[in-house]
Amino acid sequence: MASGSGGEDVWIPSVCGMCPDQCGILVHRVDGVVTKIEGNPRSPLGRGRLCARGLAGIQLLYDPHRLNQPLRRGNPEKGIGVDPRWQPISWDEALEAIVERLKQVRAEDPHRLLLCGTPASPAPLAFALGVFMPAFDSPNGFVCDERPNAGVEHMLARSLHGSISMYPDPDFCEYLLLFGADCTSGATAEKMADARVRGMRGVAVEPFLSPAAEKADEWLPIRPGSEGALACALLNLLLNEYRLFDAEYVRRHTDGPYLVRPDGAHARDTASGKPLVWDAAAGHARPFDEDGGDVAIEGTYVVDGEECRSVFELLREAVRRWTPEAAAEATTIHAQTIRGVAREFGEAARIGSTVTIEGRELPLRPAAAVCGPGAYGHDNGRPTALAIALLNEVVGAGDVPGGLLGSGAVSLGRPQTGLPRWVPCADSDGLLQSEPTPENRTDDWPAFDGRFAFDPRPKVLIDCGSNLLMGAAGPERVATLKECFVISVSLYSDETAEALADIVLPDASYLERLDPPQQSSPAGRGDWACQVRQPAVPPLRQRRHFSEVLLEIGQRLGIADAVNARTNIFYGLRLPHTLDPEQRCSWEEMVDRICQGGFGPEHGLAWFRENGVLTWPKRLEEVYWKPFDAARVPLRYEWLAGWQPCRAGRPQIGFDLQAVSYPVPWHASQTCENPWLDEVSQSEPYSYFICLNPRTAAAKGIADGDPIWVESTAGRRVRGRARLTEGVHPEVVAIGGNGGHWARGMPVARGQGAFFNALLTFDLEQPGPTPLAIDGDARVRVYKE
């Protein structure tokens, strides 16, 4: 496009905000109008390349359906489908009404303020949950995602990798086993393409031939929710039949050699209380961290008159019931195929091999098994995700070249300052205990008083762009929040706003706001990146950045001193960058402090505005920390005993199918409202349709394109058009994520695709036999309209 006559023509470095990946962008502004968004080649995040969402951000900025001023509900009635009869009000009126409510709650019980945010906006989410909520004295902040059970992944990543998420090593992996996971798109897309070209073999286990499975060499369609049975069978074959495991890794880097008494507790040294291992050379037990001869990982040993077995031995025992034949019955995958995958995976790991990187010899285990939402998104998600994670551990592929790595598990800081620093460390039993990162440090955090739970009767709810009603919390459950005062902070008058909000505040999009720097890095080797999101244009109309609004609310509530104190703690500010209690900083000043506090006075906001991104190389021991650290990974064999098929996987008379959802890579959150991305989905064969296997459809008289209903056992149903595809398991109906909006305020998205979460039942009885997990699938029947 031609630039304006003699006017402004600038490129502004900033950070994408269309999904949680935070790629670096350059925004082209000509005469005050954003004319293009490109990837920032200087940023390690995206390396100058953007996905469809990131490129389409202009359509979010200028969408005429965006909220442009605060609104007050004119209709006292609330509920799904009710017209809110919005009445425009001034910011002053809106904040006055909000502050009045918040003052009441704070006086009665601050815990009854509930705030939820979206993972798509990590920086504003961090300020709201990490600063404002503690300053208000409410611990009831949470993240609402579209898919349930992300907590399962985070917990396992903490427990096994000292991180919050995991990814396969894109630089050395040669065999990638994906369980309902997508490692092909997003920030790793380029490196994974390199891996495919150099011959990495990919096997995708999932019920739908998703865009990720499309790129695998082999698609193994599985009965959804049975991924854990497959993983247990693979473990059984590796440990008990093929004996393809890394004994040295198990001995040194896991609790595998720890002796367990018949009652399930660790056998401990009477003097030190430390867990005991069996010294095979000396023929007696000794504390795990004492020097001695070779330690046994298999076998039964008598300690203090009791027969003790090692954790590793118990793990072998726990998976023994999962013969390939038993798993075949559970998963619909042929037993011979399961044997083949186990052998391929175990052999691909090349146990015992090493690689020299930067002059240092490290173990090489070029095989990784990855558990994604398709596998952990069930009520059996915890044992399933553990079994998959253990595939990496038993072949020695945890946080070593080629294997499964914790994302950003170790930070040794910038070479100049050694900050920020966090490293995995061991507890007194020698087990991995990750040091809190600055983002979630726990010193001076509100003490846990047992009420850190969803209060079913909050007085005030602030929904920061998560559109709770369409999230994994379940629409009916959320709709019961009618009684409370709901503030919706959003880009659009979305479903949650229309059904529940008393007041709606027009948020600034990522192209209109300033966010503090966040440290992140792409998968594998390369550079750390720290970038500041800066506005490409000032907020249009009356839109305001919610972090700034929270600052003002804090001042109006009289808790600005607490906000300052929490800012110091949360962003790790040290003298001289700390905020004094009585100081009243603007948001810009605050972000400047955070920049200087983290990166020195020479790297204030002005530096980031000019340069966009601060980078420094990742060190080898940051990428592959296992060989450099003594902390052991707990194998948690006892969780596997409880594995059983997920609720939606159990047959019920009249409900012959299982409904699953899958992520659509060119959508996230509310992007169906983006007309460029909507145009993609309109032309693409699957994402706006409900996918059925042709054989399944034929038996029901359903033809391609027919309008159909999908109805759950609880009578919930969604409507859509049928797409017949061989790429779906015959027992399954597959629905793309992010579809099915009904809000009047999102007319582009309205009616496009199907709203999968409407099929799910969420109540306090739903969580499965293992904690932290609910079933993200539904047992359904399908019929023509």
| DSSP state, residue 237 | I
**Residue closer to other proteins (CB basis): 270 or 683:** 683
- Report the C-alpha gap between 756 and 597 in whole angstroms: 44
Shortest Å distance, C-beta 272 to other proteins: 53
Among 11, 20, 42, 65, binds other proteins (CB under 8 A): 65
- Report how far apart, in Å, the C-alpha atoms of 504 and of each of 82, 289, 550, 747 are: 15, 58, 14, 18
Shortest Å distance, C-beta 489 to other proteins: 23
Shortest Å distance, C-beta 38 to other proteins: 7
**Residue closer to other proteins (CB basis): 80 or 189:** 189
**Residue closer to other proteins (CB basis): 7 or 88:** 7
Is the CB of residue 275 less than 8 Å from the CB of residue 287? yes
For 293, the 3-state DSSP assignment is coil
CA-based nearest residue to 193, from 35, 34, 47: 47
**Residue closer to other proteins (CB basis): 36 or 721:** 36
| Subset of residues 216 to 275 that bind other proteins, contact rule: CB under 8 A | 219-221
Q: Tell me: does residue 56 bind other proteins (CB under 8 A).
A: yes
**Residue closer to other proteins (CB basis): 94 or 508:** 508
Residue 612 CA to chain centroid, in angstroms?
Answer: 26
Q: Tell me: does residue 52 bind other proteins (CB under 8 A).
A: yes
Q: Is residue 682 classed exposed, middle or buried when 0-12, 13-18 and 19+ CB atoms within 10 A define those classes?
A: exposed
Q: Tell me: does residue 196 bind other proteins (CB under 8 A).
A: yes
**Residue closer to other proteins (CB basis): 199 or 264:** 199
Q: Tell me: does residue 22 bind other proteins (CB under 8 A).
A: no
The residues pairing with 722 across neighbouring beta strands, listed in sequence order, are 690
**Residue closer to other proteins (CB basis): 465 or 727:** 727
Contacts of residue 697, Cβ cutoff 8 Å, sequence gap at least 6: 703, 704, 722, 724
- Report the C-alpha gap between 337 and 220 in whole angstroms: 9
CA-based nearest residue to 295, from 273, 320, 313, 315: 313
Shortest Å distance, C-beta 146 to other proteins: 19
Among 11, 20, 33, 407, binds other proteins (CB under 8 A): 33
- Report how far apart, in Å, the C-alpha atoms of 409 and of each of 444, 562, 732 are: 23, 30, 37
Is the CB of residue 299 less than 8 Å from the CB of residue 310? yes
CA-based nearest residue to 166, from 432, 366, 424, 404: 404
Q: Tell me: does residue 214 bind other proteins (CB under 8 A).
A: yes
Among 38, 109, 298, 552, binds other proteins (CB under 8 A): 38
CA-based nearest residue to 253, from 336, 311, 314, 335: 311
- Using the rule CB under 8 A, give the single segment among 209-217, 371-379, 387-395, 453-461 that binds other proteins: 209-217
| DSSP state, residue 274 | P
| Subset of residues 287 to 316 that bind other proteins, contact rule: CB under 8 A | none
Contacts of residue 624, Cβ cutoff 8 Å, sequence gap at least 6: 169, 362, 399, 400, 401, 405
CB count, 10 Å around CB of 294?
A: 13
- Report the C-alpha gap between 547 and 115 in whole angstroms: 13
| Subset of residues 79 to 108 that bind other proteins, contact rule: CB under 8 A | none
Shortest Å distance, C-beta 608 to other proteins: 24
**Residue closer to other proteins (CB basis): 1 or 107:** 1
- Using the rule CB under 8 A, give the single segment among 230-238, 559-567, 726-734, 757-765 that binds other proteins: 726-734
Among 19, 25, 34, 536, binds other proteins (CB under 8 A): 34
Q: Tell me: does residue 11 bind other proteins (CB under 8 A).
A: no
Pairing of strands 485-490, 460-464: parallel
Is the CB of residue 343 less than 8 Å from the CB of residue 233? no
**Residue closer to other proteins (CB basis): 59 or 713:** 59
Shortest Å distance, C-beta 239 to other proteins: 28
| Subset of residues 663 to 692 that bind other proteins, contact rule: CB under 8 A | 665-666, 675-677, 679-680, 683-686
Q: Tell me: does residue 741 bind other proteins (CB under 8 A).
A: no
Q: Tell me: does residue 557 bind other proteins (CB under 8 A).
A: no
- Report how far apart, in Å, the C-alpha atoms of 552 and of each of 228, 549, 557 are: 49, 5, 8
* Binding mask of the shown chain, residues 153 to 192, with x at each position contacting other proteins by CB under 8 A: -------------------------------xx---xx-x
Q: Is residue 726 classed exposed, middle or buried when 0-12, 13-18 and 19+ CB atoms within 10 A define those classes?
A: exposed
3-state helix, strand, coil in the chain (%, to 5): 30, 25, 45
Is the CB of residue 519 less than 8 Å from the CB of residue 411? yes
Q: Tell me: does residue 14 bind other proteins (CB under 8 A).
A: no
Among 727, 737, 740, 745, binds other proteins (CB under 8 A): 727
Q: Which residue's entry shows tokens 């800081």?
A: 413
**Residue closer to other proteins (CB basis): 185 or 437:** 185
| Subset of residues 624 to 653 that bind other proteins, contact rule: CB under 8 A | none
**Residue closer to other proteins (CB basis): 57 or 162:** 57
Shortest Å distance, C-beta 675 to other proteins: 4
Q: Tell me: does residue 208 bind other proteins (CB under 8 A).
A: no
- Report the C-alpha gap between 410 and 311 in whole angstroms: 27
Q: Tell me: does residue 63 bind other proteins (CB under 8 A).
A: yes
Shortest Å distance, C-beta 341 to other proteins: 14
Q: Under rule CB under 8 A, how many of the chain's residues touch other proteins?
A: 61
Q: Which residue's entry shows tokens 């069978």?
A: 233
CA-based nearest residue to 662, from 184, 223, 210: 210
Is the CB of residue 35 less than 8 Å from the CB of residue 557? no
Q: Tell me: does residue 50 bind other proteins (CB under 8 A).
A: yes
Among 13, 17, 39, 383, binds other proteins (CB under 8 A): 39
For 715, the 3-state DSSP assignment is coil
**Residue closer to other proteins (CB basis): 600 or 675:** 675
Longest CA span, the chain? 91
| DSSP state, residue 140 | -
Shortest Å distance, C-beta 350 to other proteins: 24
Q: Tell me: does residue 193 bind other proteins (CB under 8 A).
A: yes
Shortest Å distance, C-beta 678 to other proteins: 9
**Is the peptide bond preceding residue 44 cis, with omega within 30 degrees of 0?**
no
Among 748, 749, 754, 772, binds other proteins (CB under 8 A): 748
Among 17, 148, 162, 211, binds other proteins (CB under 8 A): 211
Contact residues for other proteins, defined by CB under 8 A: 1-2, 30, 33-39, 46, 48-52, 55-56, 58-59, 61-65, 184-185, 189-190, 192-193, 196-197, 209, 211, 214-215, 219-221, 665-666, 675-677, 679-680, 683-686, 693, 695, 725-730, 747-748
